[in-house]
A and B are shown apart, each in its own frame.
Chain A
Amino acid sequence: MFTIFTNVGQIIQTGRAFQLVFLLIIGALGYVSYYLGKKGKTWEIRPLEGLEATYEGIGRAAEMGRPIMVLPGISDLGNPQTLAGLTVLGEVAQQSAEIGVTAITSASNPGVITAEEAIIRSSYTAAGKPELYSPGKYVRWFGGDQFAYAVGAAGQILGEKPAVIVYMGYFLFDVIVDGETGNRIGAVQIGGTLGSMDMVALFCDNILIGEELYAASASITRDKIAVATIAGQDWIKLITLGIMILGVIFSLAGSKVIWEILGR
């Protein structure tokens, strides 16, 4: 049975049959969860510590009369982490605008800057305060290099003294510079990323670990249908876990069945 995947090598690229099947399963389960969400099924997700801290942070910024800073990272709009960070920025900016807190941000990619300006503008418009928005007031650009951005963002942190700094996106070593600077001004720091989790964990008071970043970007919108897709994500993780457990069992038994199925 398992030779089906090798016999179709002329149609399917060698070693990628399982990937294709798994991707189709992910797409199907994701759509099924979306469909069930549309039909009215609701899922409750456990409270995300970083997200709860973000909500509290907006209140903290209001009490202290200081701005809240959201950084979507140093990558471009093609990175899912950046998109998740921009979703968080939009919601934080709107909630902040509604209660009179200033939300500031910065980025190193010009495309992200343009998106951030549009997001901030639409957030103020949605909050009923379009007159408060002006270009360049809330969004700053610090160059395309990660260290130039790190130093620029650190300067912005020292100048603006935000009460809360939210790191949601793709970061490298720049989070070390900005995290230490944020700690020195006494800001509450919340982080969510995939790659530099170790460094974000060192500097942030609350973190979103791995895929919690994507869950947070769905959950922060309070859209039940978006939250429903997280259920699909969990189903896929269960399948992945099952395959791993089977792989361990078969490997211990001296069989390479799972190995061959995976296309190795």
Chain B
Amino acid sequence: MSSTIAYIRAYLSRFLVIVGLLATLISWYFVSPEATAIANELTYWNMDIYTFTLFVGLLTIFARYLNGVRTRAKYWPYQLYAMILIIVWIIMGLSVGLYSDLYQTAYLSTKITLHIAILGQLVFFMVSAGYRVLRIKNFRTALFAICMVSVVVLNAPWLLSVFPAADKISYWLLNNPAMAGGRALLLAGGIGGVILGIRLLLGLEKGALRATE
């Protein structure tokens, strides 16, 4: 019996993945209302499963945080704070609705404020890292540094008035070498992603499936 269960565990998930894969591929490449209907239905199932995993993840987090608060773990006050906030937001969302003025105002006024605070420091981090990486030791690093400065200036209108040439240089850099390199990465990454999918279907990719070992 246990070997049967192990067999089902190993191959049922792969079978379901292959069915979903074929339905999605057929509906994408072929004019087939039946395949499209199956793909749409599987998409809804996928959304349901995804929502369920979010729920499972939430339960996992609560279980861990409750244990942490009970045993007074290292960051237990933050874990307690996080749990209280999650419950408050869930109650608020369920009672007034996700798209109500109250929920949206509360959400955006906290989220946007924090985002802006972090975004504001990103440019300093990037300049600091750029200085460390691109210390002008030779011609190549000097060229990289000039390119970096030019693109930074492009995004600062007040600096553009001082260095107007940065406009043309930056756009040429972004639309030619950077775009070529970016497309090369995308192409290679896309091919690599498909091959990784094949490794998953063949059971070669241990990764997240390691949990079944």
* Contact surface of A with B, Cβ cutoff 8 Å: 10-13, 16, 19-20, 23, 26-27, 30-31, 34, 76-77, 80-81, 83-84, 86-87, 90-91, 109-111, 113-115, 117-119, 121-123, 126, 135-136, 141, 145, 147-148, 150-151, 173, 176-177, 179-180, 183, 194, 197, 199, 201-203, 209-211, 213-215, 217-218, 221, 223, 225-226, 229-230, 232-233, 236-237, 240
Expressed in whole angstroms, the Cα–Cα distance for A232 and B28 within the complex equals 24
CB neighbours (8 Å) of A86 from chain B are 207-208, 210
Whether B31 lies near A173 (C-beta < 8 A) is no
List, sorted by A's number, 19 A–B pairs whose CB atoms are closer than 8 Å: A11-B30, A19-B29, A26-B195, A31-B198, A76-B50, A83-B207, A83-B208, A111-B53, A113-B60, A121-B211, A210-B184, A211-B189, A214-B192, A217-B207, A223-B204, A230-B195, A233-B191, A233-B195, A237-B188
How far is A214 from B210 in the complex, measured between Cα atoms in Å?
Answer: 17
| Residues of A close to B200: CB separation below 8 A | 83
B72 to chain A, nearest CB (A): 13
Find out whether the CB atom of A240 lies under 8 angstroms from the CB atom of B187: yes
Q: Closest 8 A-B residue pairs measured CB to CB? A: A110-B57, A118-B211, A214-B192, A211-B192, A87-B207, A136-B64, A80-B193, A211-B188
Q: Which residues of B contact A111 (CB under 8 A)?
A: 50, 53-54, 56-57
Chain B 96-125 per-residue mask, 1 if CB under 8 angstroms from chain A, else 0:
000000000000000100110011011001
Q: How far is the CB of B91 from chain A (nearest CB, A)?
A: 18
Q: Which residues of A are found within 8 Å of B128, using beta-carbon distances? A: 180
What secondary structure prevails in chain B residues at the interface with A? helix
Which residues of B have CB within 8 Å of A13?
28-31
Other-chain contact of B198, A34, A76, A221 (Cβ < 8 Å): A34
Q: Do residues B30 and A12 form an inter-chain contact, with CB atoms below 8 A?
A: yes
B6 at the interface (CB under 8 A from A): no
**What residues on A are CB-neighbors of B164 within 8 Å?**
none
Q: Which residue of A lies closest to B68 (CB)?
A: A136
Q: Does B165 sit at the interface, judged by CB under 8 A?
A: no
- Which residues in A have their C-beta under 8 angstroms from that of B29? 12-13, 16, 19-20
Interface residues of B in 44-62 (CB under 8 A from A): 50, 53-54, 56-58, 60-61
B79 CB → nearest A CB, Å:
9
Q: Is residue B149 contacting chain A, with contact meaning CB distance below 8 A?
A: no
> Which residues does chain A contribute within 8 Å of B73, judged by CB atoms?
136
Taking CB atoms, residues of chain B closer than 8 Å to A236 are: 191, 195
B211's partner among A16, A115, A194, A240 (CB-CB below 8 A) is: A115
Q: Is the CB of B60 within 8 A of A117?
A: yes
Give B64's nearest chain A residue, CB to CB: A136
- On chain A, the residues within 8 Å of B198 by CB distance are 27, 30-31, 34, 229
B186 to chain A, nearest CB (A): 7
- In angstroms, Cα B197 to Cα A83, docked, is 10
- Interface pair B205/A122, CB less than 8 Å apart: no
Whether A232 lies near B195 (C-beta < 8 A) is: yes
- Chain B residue nearest to A27 (CB atoms) is B198
Known: A83-B207, A87-B207. A211 touches B125 (CB 8 A): no
A176 touches B211 (CB 8 A): no
Q: Which residue of B lies closest to A215 (CB)?
A: B192
Partner of B114, one of A118, A148, A180: A148
Interchain CB contact under 8 A, B118 and A194: no
Task: Decide yes or no whether B169 CB sits under 8 A from chain A.
Answer: no
